[in-house]
Structure 1
Amino acid sequence: MSLDEVMVTKAIVEGYLESFLENTEVEAALVGAGPANLVAAKRLAEANIKTVLFEKRLSVGGGLWGGGMMFPRIVVQQAAIRILEEYGIRYHEHCKGYYVANSIETVAKLTARAIDAGAQIVNLVTVEDVMIREQDRVVGLVINWTAAEMAQIHVDPLCIRARYVIDGTGHEASVCRVVARKIPGAIIGIDGVKGEKPMWAEVGERTVVEMTQEVYPGLVVAGMAAAAVCGGPRMGPIFGGMLQSGEKAAGIVIENLNK
């Protein structure tokens, strides 16, 4: 059989558009494909919740790829070891209570399991706004190509309808910042996003999970975005709390969708 370049083009465009159109109305739309949202995406899809995850960059994984200062290793504490084992991520105990995993393996397996569960991941798409309706609730996302944003050219966006949105955009907390800017005082009763405190890994590991919550009707915050919104400390290349945050965010959405 001969290979026709135009047929290759048609296969790619038609295949992408079919998937894109299928995910313009979902139950859960996640923004930012870092560790928290990769875990959340798998949990949601396993619960038969129609889930799409948008990442503005070419690659997924957020801060996981680089490990600590470009040494591709991360540390996970005992409480999150069960998550590594669930995903088949190998680890070893460096010393008591400090478990080390390969950051590249971690990204690959978190991503693969989310896709295997049925979540759709869309890269190179930026969320620039949200849709809020009369009931004062986030009901969807306004999206555009990341390339258009980077080129600073005016291209009108498209929209995704969702019953729940999870902001997992890391330090930027970009979805929450949009809501805080347009509706002052809306995000968990504070005027704006507090921003992160200085690094304190022990406290940050705990509070990133505690701060994972619904911060505005229809909008849940997870991972380092939760720390940025609520003023929690950063914790560096220690990722157990991030993984647990994703579990909690998915649980909040599942519980509310099942009411």
Structure 2
Amino acid sequence: MDAQRYATPFDGFKYGDVGIQDSHHSFFDSRIARFKGIKESEISRAMTSRYFEDLNVNAEVDVVIVGAGSAGLSCAYELSKHPDVKVAIIEQGVAPGGGAWLGGQLFSAMCIRKPAHKLLDELSIPYDDEGNFVVVKHAALMTSTLLSKVLAAPNIKLFNATAAEDLIVKDIPAKGGRHVAGAVTNWTLVSLNHDTQMCMDPNTILSKVMVSSTGHDGPMGASGVKRLAKLGMIEKAPGMGALDMNTAEDAVVDRTREIVPGMVICGMEVAELDGCPRMGPTFGAMFISGLKAAHCALASLRRQREEAGEVQAETPEQKTLQATH
């Protein structure tokens, strides 16, 4: 029995045909539509000139986000709504998104507890409503949509395959002592091979605020709070607690904050610092924590500008009004 055949746009098309009216057909015939000529050096210059211009422009930023998982990306998305705020994202992986490309145990669907589904509505991402939570058919749909919004923003630059090896810390008594002032960076492949070479010094990105969203503990996880603990700027982080979905998500969002001057933490790094339970394969707190971190960063920027006399300090009434919106 012959297999069922479906009509295609190319029925009747022969490769040797010339002068076919259908532009879709001619597009695939190199004798009709050829690729434009190019020199290999043009491609090299196009890539390198833009990359090093990005490094130059982003050597000093308002906010540097370390870690482009679900919390870091949602933070960047919220900051994209403030075009006057220059943002750089540092992501150690080639592919941003952290663990948000899949649900739990390598399953496809992503579960998000309400009210975090409002972010899905804002991004026009469809989902199945299960009452107290919603389900996106594939986690990659959420992550790719969020990532595309972030990358399209003119005030945000992503440096992937780049690791944050250390913090920049300034000690200025007039500003209350030590504060985080940026990230020490290197290409991830270099960071992973320091023990095989003699010396491979890093680069830096100076910032007014760092948002540390490096996830839970691991080879490069929770790196922000672990470094702060080694520097004596915070108590030693106890690590995240055992899984309890109902407790975990509220705790992570509630404790998303600026922990030392110049550094905001969000996502699972909060659980590592405060011992909050882990929530497992439900992503609502990651997204809401990232959104909240963006507003913590904006508040820190404003405070720094007030201290520098660049803007007038807000009254308690104004702060209360902002907190209610």
> Is TM (by shorter chain) over 0.5?
yes
Query: For 2:111, which of 75, 78, 99 is the aligned residue?
Result: 75
Given that 1:222 and 1:245 are in contact with CA atoms closer than 8 Å, whether structure 2 keeps it comes out as yes
What is the match of residue 54 of structure 1?
90
Question: 1:15 is matched by which residue type in structure 2?
Answer: R
What is the match of residue 224 of structure 1?
268
Please tell me whether residue 143 in structure 1 is matched to residue 206 in structure 2: no
Richer in helix (by share): 1
Give the drift of 1:133: 1.0
Matches within 5 A, 1:89-168: 89-93=125-129, 95-101=130-136, 102-118=138-154, 119-135=156-172, 136-152=178-194, 153=197, 154-168=199-213
Count of aligned pairs: 253
Please tell me whether residue 247 in structure 1 is matched to residue 283 in structure 2: no
Partners of 2:290 and 2:126 in 1: CA distance: 20
Percent identity over the alignment is: 31
What is the match of residue 38 of structure 1?
73
User: Which one is further off, 138-147 or 117-126?
Assistant: 117-126
1:184-211 per-position Cα deviation (integer Å, ceiling 9, x unaligned): 2x22xx2x11211011111111111011
Length-normalised TM-score, structure 2: 0.76
Q: Which has the larger radius of gyration?
A: 2
Query: For 2:55, which of 20, 27, 38 is the aligned residue?
Result: 20
Partners of 2:91 and 2:301 in 1: CA distance: 24
User: Which one is further off, 148-157 or 216-225?
Assistant: 148-157
Partners of 2:171 and 2:300 in 1: CA distance: 20
Give the drift of 1:7: 1.3
Gap runs ≥5 in structure 1 = none
Given that 1:88 and 1:109 are in contact with CA atoms closer than 8 Å, whether structure 2 keeps it comes out as no
Partners of 1:175 and 1:258 in 2: CA distance: 23
Length-normalised TM-score, structure 1: 0.94
Give the drift of 1:125: 0.5
Higher relative contact order (CA 8 A, sep 6+): 1
What is the match of residue 173 of structure 1?
222
Partners of 2:95 and 2:115 in 1: CA distance: 28
Richer in strand (by share): 1
Question: 1:96 is matched by which residue type in structure 2?
Answer: G
Given that 2:252 and 2:276 are in contact with CA atoms closer than 8 Å, whether structure 1 keeps it comes out as yes
Given that 1:33 and 1:168 are in contact with CA atoms closer than 8 Å, whether structure 2 keeps it comes out as yes
Stretches (4+) displaced over 6 A: none
Partners of 2:80 and 2:102 in 1: CA distance: 27
